[in-house]
Amino acid sequence: MKTVEVLVSGYSMWPTLQDGQKLNCIEYNGDDLCVGDLVVVRHPFNKNLTLIKRITKINSSDELWIEGDNPDPTSSDDSHNFGYISKENIVAYCKHRRA
C-alpha cells in the first residue's frame, strides 16, 4: 500500500482540514471506497487541478458525489458544480472522519 502526502490548500474542507495541513493518503488502485471517505481527485474539467473532497454519495453506476466539508456552499468547487465523478479521476483516498 503506497502512501501519498497531500498538502491542503484553501478552506473547502474546513473545519476538518486546515489550509497548509499535510495529509497522508493511500494511493488509489481500485480499492473499495465508502461514503465518508476523503478522496484526492483530478478536477473533471481541469486535469491540472487536484481536489480533496469527501464522498457523500455513491450512485448505482459506481460514480462518486463529492463535497467539501465547509458549510459555506460558495467555499468549495465540488459535485454541486460538476456532478458525479468517475473513479478514474481518483488519485488517493483516506479514511478520515469529520472534525
pLDDT less than 50: residues of the chain: none
Residue (of 39, 45, 28) closest to 69 by Cα position? 39
pLDDT of residue 9: 95
pLDDT of residue 99: 59
Domain ranges of the chain: 3-94
∠ CA 80-12-35, nearest 5°, is 60
Q: Say which residue the cell 499535510 belongs to.
A: 22
Q: Are 41 and 53 in contact (CB under 8 A)?
A: yes
pLDDT of residue 72: 92
Architecture of the domain defined by 3-94: Ribbon (2.10)
pLDDT of residue 95: 85
Q: Are 64 and 33 in contact (CB under 8 A)?
A: yes
Is this prediction's pTM over 0.85? yes
pLDDT of residue 47: 85
